[in-house]
Amino acid sequence: MEVKNCKRCGKLFQYVTGKPICPACKQQDEDDFDKVKNYLYEYPRTSLMEVSEATQVSIASIRKFLREDRLIISEDSEIGIECENCGVTIKSGRYCRSCMASLNNEMRAVTRPQTAPKEKQDIKQTDPKKTKMHYLNKDKLN
Ligand SMILES: [Zn+2]
Ligand SMILES: [Zn+2]
């Protein structure tokens, strides 16, 4: 068992896995999240500032919930965060739809040469001729 300082409050706690945050702060996080979620459910068209004031949850925390894709807000809400790539206003997550699409394309372009030889190998392994031969040999042995 590992003992760590909580990143949030600095208290020592027994660290198991995940973020270095103590159980009390984790619970606080959950409570904050529920408060914001419930408030937005009742008042979907309020601003970030109003939600923060009403729930006593800091704007930074609310933005973090949005960034982590945990909080779902309605399309017509004025609450939003910026795409990390182009700065356009988005409702949740890290990137806007078009940046997400181009990032996915870039990732595919990078991984394609590496996956190509493996695909060839897979075809060889499932070659129907070889499978047949294998069965024939087995029959002879029996
Ligand atoms: Zn803590
Ligand atoms: Zn973007």
For position 106, what pLDDT does the model report? 87
For position 108, what pLDDT does the model report? 85
For position 124, what pLDDT does the model report? 53
For position 36, what pLDDT does the model report? 96
Ligand 2 centre and the CA of 54: distance in Å? Answer: 30
Query: Regarding beta strands 2-5 and 12-15, do their DSSP bridges make them parallel or antiparallel, or are they unpaired?
Result: antiparallel
- Domain that includes residue 123, residue range: 2-141
For position 138, what pLDDT does the model report? 57
DSSP the chain: -EEEE-TTT--EEEE-SSSS--HHHHHHHHHHHHHHHHHHHH-TT--HHHHHHHHT--HHHHHHHHHTT-----TT-S--EE-TTT--EESSSSS-HHHHHHHHHHHHHHHHHHHHHHHHHHHHHT-HHHHHHHHHHHHHH-
Closest ligand to Cα 88? 2
- Counting the structural domains of the chain, the total is 1
Two tokens, residue 71: 């909080």
For position 110, what pLDDT does the model report? 75
Closest ligand to Cα 98? 2
Closest ligand to Cα 96? 2
Ligand 2 centre and the CA of 103: distance in Å? Answer: 10
Ligand 1 centre and the CA of 61: distance in Å? Answer: 15
- CA 12, CA 4: separation in Å to the nearest integer? 5
Closest ligand to Cα 85? 2
Closest ligand to Cα 15? 1
User: Over the chain (142 residues), what is each successive 10-residue block's mean pLDDT?
Assistant: 92 92 94 96 92 96 93 85 95 94 87 55 54 56 56
Ligand 1 centre and the CA of 17: distance in Å? Answer: 14
